[in-house]
Structure 1
């Protein structure tokens, strides 16, 4: 995912943009909090605590950008360092959790996560440099991005160890949420001032913020919608125990020779 870290100076409009991003990400915290508080769910199977990292860190990032924290100047541009730190922390969780849903082999998941991190880091290089280095960074970041998509769309299904219909539905929704939506990020980068300058720095900030919220908050909500696949086994056991026939069979005396 290559995105424009260049933003205008912190003024009224940019503060509103980042403030809206902060509120949007906070919604994701509430959604994951519901999942963690639901005692009928198996938190270990769902790994919801890792999901909490996504909206929590993103909220912190956008709150910092709203206040102008973490901004530094490179080549005459103000760069939002917290945005890249946010992506470096949260996007590997997005990519990794997709594989977790269908229990993809860890080596394959780690490959996708590693490519995601490479994509972010080289995207940062592309944004904060000039000339040949900038376009080389963009090329490497784009290559890492498309290799990551290959793993998610081709290797994940092949290396899945759990493919029940319910898990497959959740897998497809999360994978498409990440893979398809992120295709717009290279386009935004190319249109931004650091690319061909077709969109202003403020316009780029607005687009990136909208895309960021759209990628992360619905992601957590989709998991919430499909939370039934993470039900505790004990719920089924209790239900079975309430079956009169099951109870009678359990409580029936054992026949003896006497």
Structure 2
């Protein structure tokens, strides 16, 4: 199908179309709100948290515009063995690009909040990008139904790494940094919502096709709204009100306490 035909197919499906426009509107509002919230933040680490978090709605508004215009959507014929084998199914592959760019920014903000070190932050972000890219591969593979699920398993393996760092490593770092209370709130919010994405993938048209494309799209959009915009508001509101706590951390990545003492000359 041409891009114009894909665009028309999106327009004709009002439920699907609304799932895109809802995020475009909320992303736009979030950008303006977050810029306003961060107008008086002066600490460099707090500013970096704001910049990383602000990138989330900026990426989202760009991505959802690509989806609503038909630019990052394709119709793919499902392979033998799939519930919709032989049928062309609308695949919103642009969502994976969104996640590959926005979720690392969420992890960067969380890592900075937890006062983690560069190694843990790098590991979490790389595993997260790997999760998104292999998820994209699962969605685009039409040669073999089994390989679609194999890509899915690889993506979930990357996800396990991210979950471990969030639930174990960064939780310990946040205790030392003095940000455990807000970090644990955001950690739980993030983990619960992020678990929904592979579940809805498996249930949607790309998996076993229990849910249709529009319902799956609204599930993704709804989770995006909470996992991105509401998450970001809670985080930035706390950072703006507790800038002194953020400023009290070490200038580099890692908590201000518990490090090794400098060697004598």
TM-score (norm 2): 0.77
What secondary structure sits across from 2:206 in the alignment? coil
The equivalent residue for 2:171 is 157
Find the aligned partners of 2:204 and 2:131 in 1 and give their Cα distance.
Answer: 18
Q: Deviations over 1:155-211 (max 9, x none)?
A: 1123458522xx222211221221121111121011101211110111111111111
Partner residue of 1:94 out of 106, 110, 115: 106
CA contact (8 A) 1:58 1:86 kept: yes
Higher radius of gyration, 1 or 2:
1
Find the aligned partners of 1:79 and 1:108 in 2 and give their Cα distance.
Answer: 33
Deviation for aligned residue 1:232: 9.8
Q: 1:126 to 1:28 in 2, by over 3 A?
A: same
The equivalent residue for 1:168 is 180
Find the aligned partners of 2:38 and 2:245 in 1 and give their Cα distance.
Answer: 13
Deviation for aligned residue 1:117: 0.7
CA contact (8 A) 1:9 1:78 kept: no
RCO higher in 1 or 2 (8 Å CA, sep ≥ 6)?
A: 1
The equivalent residue for 1:124 is 136
Deviation for aligned residue 1:43: 4.8
Deviation for aligned residue 1:212: 1.1
Deviation for aligned residue 1:34: 1.7
1:33 pairs with 2:46: no
1:223 pairs with 2:235: yes
The equivalent residue for 2:191 is 179
Q: 1:233 to 1:87 in 2, by over 3 A?
A: closer
What secondary structure sits across from 1:74 in the alignment? strand
The equivalent residue for 1:144 is 158
The equivalent residue for 1:201 is 213
- Unaligned segments of structure 1, at least 5 residues: 1-6, 235-258
Find the aligned partners of 2:216 and 2:245 in 1 and give their Cα distance.
Answer: 44
Find the aligned partners of 1:29 and 1:11 in 2 and give their Cα distance.
Answer: 26
Find the aligned partners of 1:200 and 1:16 in 2 and give their Cα distance.
Answer: 15
The equivalent residue for 1:78 is 90
TM-score (norm 1): 0.79
Partner residue of 1:212 out of 196, 210, 224: 224
Would you say how many aligned residue pairs link Structure 1 and Structure 2? 224
Deviation for aligned residue 1:223: 1.7
